[in-house]
């Protein structure tokens, strides 16, 4: 595989990181931190988790440890400590750490070829290449960017990958946007209820007794 392929994967990662960071712009400390799902998913926790992910995969896995050491996965940390922010961890600190980690990861990606060997010690088959790790981290970051998109929508209705205009990143949805999305949601709800009825009718019809 060529460096052109590496550059393309790297661009995907850079763009998806930017999407994650946009999702946390313009929010209060509480909204950044508060759990928005039954399992406690929260926006700042996603950024914290992605920081530890990149620090380990692009750091220690290739003999290029990120400093200072991030303790969030250490045995003496709170349960799932990489997925939420404690009261004494500032959002500014976590966001700054994420940016520093991704800069360090970019250096690793630039310095190595796609077939450069690494070792992911926590994988069943730890011998890897930069290519396999880069694909893995792109997928993981995209997955959590999707989570962040849904969490942010719950808070203020903001959706999308990024803001073309910086002012748009913190502006409230317009009345027209709210009306349009309310109508769309109503259509989806109506279709779901009709679909449920249609499915129940199909199962209760003559074919179900054959």
Question: CA-to-CA distance for 190 and 198, rounded, in angstroms?
Answer: 12
Output the pTM of the full model.
0.85
Name the average pLDDT for the chain.
90
- CATH 1.10.340.70 at 3-171, yes or no: no
The whole-number pLDDT of residue 123 equals 96
* Residue-wise pLDDT tens digits, 8-27: 999 999 999 999 999 999 99
Contact 9, 134 (CB under 8 A): yes
- What residue spans define the domains of the chain? 3-171, 174-210
Q: Contacts by 72-80 with C-beta closer than 8 Å and gap 24+?
A: 72/48, 80/40
Say whether 67 sits in a helix, a strand or coil.
coil
The whole-number pLDDT of residue 105 equals 98
User: Residue 100 pLDDT more than 50?
Assistant: yes
Helical pair 43-57 and 91-111, crossing angle rounded to 10 deg: 30
User: Residue 169 pLDDT more than 50?
Assistant: no
pLDDT confidence bin for 76, thresholds 50/70/90: confident
């Amino acid at each position: 595989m060529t460096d052109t392929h590496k550059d393309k994967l790297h661009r995907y990662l850079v763009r998806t990181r930017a999407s994650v960071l946009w999702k946390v712009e313009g929010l209060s400390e509480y909204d950044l931190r508060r759990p928005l799902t039954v399992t406690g998913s929260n926006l700042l926790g996603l950024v914290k988790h992605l920081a530890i992910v990149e620090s380990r995969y692009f750091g220690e896995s290739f003999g290029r440890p990120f400093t200072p050491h991030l303790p969030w996965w250490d045995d003496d940390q709170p349960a799932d400590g990489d997925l939420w922010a404690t009261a004494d961890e500032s959002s500014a600190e976590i966001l700054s750490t994420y940016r520093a980690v991704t800069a360090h990861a970019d250096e690793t990606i630039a310095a190595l070829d796609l077939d450069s060997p690494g070792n992911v010690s926590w994988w069943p088959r730890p011998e890897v290449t930069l290519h396999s790790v880069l694909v893995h981290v792109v997928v993981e970051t995209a997955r959590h960017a999707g989570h962040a998109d849904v969490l942010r929508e719950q808070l203020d209705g903001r959706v999308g990958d990024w803001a073309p205009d910086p002012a748009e990143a913190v502006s409230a949805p317009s009345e027209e946007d709210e009306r349009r999305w309310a109508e769309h949601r109503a259509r989806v709800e109506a279709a779901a209820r009709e679909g449920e009825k249609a499915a129940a009718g199909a199962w209760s019809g003559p074919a179900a007794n054959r």
